[in-house]
Amino acid sequence: MWLPAARSHMPPAIETEDLSKSYGSTTAVRGLDLSVPRGEVYGFLGPNGAGKTTTIRMLTTLTSPSGGEAYIAGEPVTDRSAVVDELGFLPETPPVYGELTGREQLEYVAGLREFDDWDRIERLLERFDLADDADRRVDTYSKGMKQKLGLVQALLHRPTVVFLDEPTSGLDPRAARTVRDVIAEVAAEDTTVFLSTHILPVVEELADTVGVLYDGRLVAEGSPAELTDGVEAGSTLEDVFLEVTEESPEGGGSPAAIDARSGRGDSGTGPAAMGSGNESTSDDG
């Protein structure tokens, strides 16, 4: 792949090496190795409790890793001041203040980030069909309106990486379409989108690369086409998901792993086998 000289020397947007997190005796993330380039949409899948939120919380500096390394745009996540401007985050529940109006909320966040492109705020409000409600208090907003406001504030400062946890949750079909279009647009402008969702068609449509987490380990990684080809002709991402997250009948709990990038599809190797499984514990959970 050809890259402009300046960009080819830039560190990946997200990089982790043997990243792990434990809460007491529960290991939520085990030996995770990720490398996500700039401008890529990375679909992050996994069953409930697989460790997706924990991974995102480590990558957004909200919780500290128990082991391993993680970098955003080449800076360690343990140095919050170095990475905070590179990050945007829409958690499952958008962090908005009910007592502010929508516009005040965005101005507040812009102020925290010393961002003063007011035209961009107005453009994004229009884009998400929030302009007519921007002077109403957020506590009068519907769930979907709060979700859209949360997305605008995550994207406002043109972060290097935006982490989106179920960004289309609660949205009507038109708003969900807008969100999918905006994800594609920001990626085209070189923002990396780390997209965690259970809505597989959204991932199938948007993701350049898909990673599937199961019990804290990456058990499949590749483009949607690489992953579906690795199962059988005509399969969907749902088939891949079901295959790699199915417990073995013997009760061993180890699912089949697919490492599309290395052309392997088997039950003991692949991404799951790449980490060393650092299971140190941390006291912050």
- For ligand ATP, the binding residues (CB under 6 A) are 23, 26, 28, 46, 48-54, 285
Which of 253, 193, 167, 166 is CA-nearest to residue 217? 253
Question: From the CB of 223, what's the least distance to ligand ATP, in Å?
Answer: 22
Q: Closest CB to ligand ATP among 98 and 201?
A: 201
Question: What are the helix (H) ranges across 66-189?
Answer: 80-83, 102-112, 118-127, 143-155, 173-188
Question: From the CB of 196, what's the least distance to ligand ATP, in Å?
Answer: 7
User: Is the separation of the CB atoms in 169 and 147 below 8 Å?
Assistant: yes
Question: From the CB of 64, what's the least distance to ligand ATP, in Å?
Answer: 12
Q: Closest CB to ligand ATP among 114 and 284?
A: 284
Question: From the CB of 26, what's the least distance to ligand ATP, in Å?
Answer: 5
Q: What is the bridge-based pairing of β-strands 161-165 and 192-196? A: parallel
Q: How far is CA 159 from the centre of its chain?
A: 13
Question: From the CB of 50, what's the least distance to ligand ATP, in Å?
Answer: 4
* Strand locations in the chain (E): 14-23, 26-36, 41-45, 67-72, 75-76, 87-90, 161-165, 192-196, 209-214, 217-222, 257-259, 264-266
Q: Closest CB to ligand ATP among 160 and 197?
A: 197
Q: Closest CB to ligand ATP among 8 and 48?
A: 48
User: Is the separation of the CB atoms in 230 and 240 below 8 Å?
Assistant: yes
259: tokens are 């490492």
Residue type, 239: D
Question: From the CB of 285, what's the least distance to ligand ATP, in Å?
Answer: 4
Q: Closest CB to ligand ATP among 50 and 106?
A: 50
Q: Closest CB to ligand ATP among 54 and 278?
A: 54
